[in-house]
A and B are shown apart, each in its own frame.
Chain A
Amino acid sequence: MSEELLRIDGLVQHFGRSAGPLDKLFRSEHAVVRAVDGVDLVLHRGETLGLVGESGCGKSTLSRCAAGLYTPTKGTVSYAGEVINGSPSKAQRRLVQMVFQDPYSSLNPRMSVGQTLGEVLRYHRVVPRSEVPARIRSLMDLVGLPARAIDQLPHAFSGGQRQRIGIARALALEPQVLIADEPVSALDVSVQANIINLLLDLKDSLGLSMLFVSHNMAVVRQVSDRIAVMHDGVVVETGPTDEVFSNPQDPYTRLLLSSVPRLAGQTIPAVEAGTA
């Protein structure tokens, strides 16, 4: 097995307010959301791991922990064997980068594309200052945006183009791991295909590893080598994509797969009302 780039061990992430004076007075239990409740995952060099699950299952929290944006309640996240514990060093941050779901709110509306990319390049000293403009142009090229877009503000772009900018921003640091949290769910179907194809091309040409988070089983099947199915804060099943799809072991995975609507006039199984 090839090298482990990203490793998650027994990760637990709870959210809750700390006990206030009233809680102390009444000794009440304050509510804790157990977003991630003990997850182990490994991402190897060059592979794409698909993380699927329904809303609220903790997949976004997990991906944010993996990107070092949260300090986990328990457990560890390590990059290339080194534990980051919620505060990755500058070098570690360059190793793992994230593409966000919402291309409308994840870009600074008052910074042009060139400024957004330039800031990242200068701060991390990716290239000498004099070479920053050239690098910005080559990044735009990489994600298929015209060079004239460099001086434009985010509002001038469509959703698909903004997502390309988000990808360019993530790739500016030449990461080895790309964490994509629902990168296409805010986009129209035909644009979705563009972005999926772009991510697959970049993965091949740059030799990236990817943690691809999505609720869309069909999309995940297209991009992933392995998938992990999450439900209620825990991973219920992992395995090679084809195996999980053709022979799901966990009952929840089976339910999820049978619920996916399919083309070609196949009727959707009328699942009778549950407790949901």
Chain B
Amino acid sequence: MTALLEVHDLNVEIPLSSGRLHAVRGVSLSASAGQAVGLVGESGSGKSLTLRAVMDLLPVPATITGGTIVVNGVDVSRMSAKQRREHLSSAMAMIFQDSLTALNPTMRVGDQVAEVPVRRLGMSRSSARARATELLDQVGIKDPERRYRAYPHELSGGMRQRICIAIALSAEPGLILADEPTTALDVTIQAQVLGVLARLRRDQGVGLVLVTHDLAVISGTCEHLNVMYGGRIVEDGPTGELIHAPRHPYTAALLRSVPDPDLPVHRLLSIAGAPPDLLEAIPGCAFAPRCPAVIDRCTTEQPPLAPIGRMRASACWRAHDHEHWPPDIAEPAAGEMRA
């Protein structure tokens, strides 16, 4: 399968009065149709900026300072802004965390869904309207004809997020980029929205890149995971393997710090310290100051994201030495005890 999206060694910097904040530091990832790729990390890890850089939606003054983004086999970094926008929006669409601000408050939601079919696909108003109604139905909105005429404020958060998904689908993209799509929603609604995304993937072969801080959401949705820390991908691999046998201490610590709804009280692992200051150059591994398994080499030399086994990679000097990690992170993660 050819990759729809290939990102290579992406760097994003934000110029600030106090220096240049190097927010994304050499990130590479790929996604193809029908596949769900997850990007997980804490706030400030660069996961959202990576996604926005891909979609050419970086907030001012952030800029891409290096790397290539290849969409549908074409390198978009060499295109003019207009060409790039055309190319990107025909291949990909994005949904955001806050569906209320993502929608136009003065337009009926149906018309917002019909906008792309009219403007881009050149449909007539009536056929665009029919298409929009069909899309609303596809994302699980009951009584789409009536809802077509609603304004965003008349709908609940879960409904609005579905409208956003319908808008994303209206240009028939191969790939949906989702930035924390369910973070603002209640768990029951979250399950519904994730269900809609899963169904689209199954029935229409739409690819998905999901960015979230919630390991549980991502592990139930994506087959491939990328864990980000301090602007870099520190570990990637198939979801199940990564969760059952993490090969980067950060992934291991993160897994042990998330409470498990199926386990009675166990002490959560708290990761001491704070994330790195991205204004500064980090000589070694960004996680070294907080890492329980740190060795001398970690603070001086930056570990590359090196392959370990099939389809997996870890940016840790001690990835192969995981049996000798200190017991508090080497102990089986909560998920493993049950499985």
Contact = CB atoms under 8 A, between A and B. Distances in A.
Given A190-B42, A218-B261, A263-B335, A276 B192 contact: yes
Contacts of B140: 272-273
A221 B156 contact: no
A274 B139 CA distance: 11
Contacts of A196: 259, 268
B142 A259 contact: no
| Interface core residue of A258, A264, A267 (most chain B CB under 10 Å) | A264
Interface in A164-222: 188-190, 192-194, 196-197, 215-219, 221-222
A271 B261 contact: no
A197 B270 contact: yes
Given A270-B199, A276-B192, A193 B220 contact: no
Contacts of A23: none
A241 interface: yes
A108 interface: no
Contacts of A270: 191, 194-195, 198-199
Contacts of B158: 276
Contact of B219 (A241, A258, A265): A265
Interface in B221-270: 221, 239-240, 243-244, 253-255, 257-270
B240 A221 contact: no
A261 interface: yes
A262 B220 contact: yes
B259 A222 contact: yes
A265 B243 CA distance: 8
Contact of A268 (B194, B239, B270, B271): B194
B254 A268 contact: no
A264 B338 contact: yes
A263 B260 contact: yes
Contacts of A190: 42, 253-254, 257, 270-271
B300 interface: no
A54 interface: yes
B243 A264 contact: yes
B234 to A, nearest CB: 14
| Interface core residue of B216, B217, B338 (most chain A CB under 10 Å) | B216
Nearest to B337: A264
Contacts of A274: 192
A260 interface: yes
Contacts of B243: 263-265
A119 interface: no
A55 interface: yes
A238 to B, nearest CB: 18
Interface string B201-217: 00000000000011111
B178 to A, nearest CB: 14
Interface in A49-70: 54-55
B270 A264 contact: no
Nearest to B218: A261
A259 B261 contact: no
B39 to A, nearest CB: 15
B261 A260 contact: yes
22 contacts: A55-B186, A190-B42, A193-B258, A193-B259, A193-B268, A193-B269, A218-B216, A245-B261, A255-B188, A260-B187, A261-B194, A261-B216, A262-B216, A263-B219, A264-B335, A265-B239, A265-B240, A268-B191, A269-B195, A271-B195, A273-B192, A275-B142
Interface of A: 54-55, 158, 188-190, 192-194, 196-197, 215-219, 221-223, 241-242, 245, 255-276
Given A193-B271, A276-B192, 5 more contacts: A215-B187, A218-B260, A245-B261, A256-B188, A260-B216
The 8 closest A-B pairs by CB, nearest first: A273-B140, A270-B195, A264-B335, A193-B257, A261-B216, A54-B186, A193-B268, A259-B191
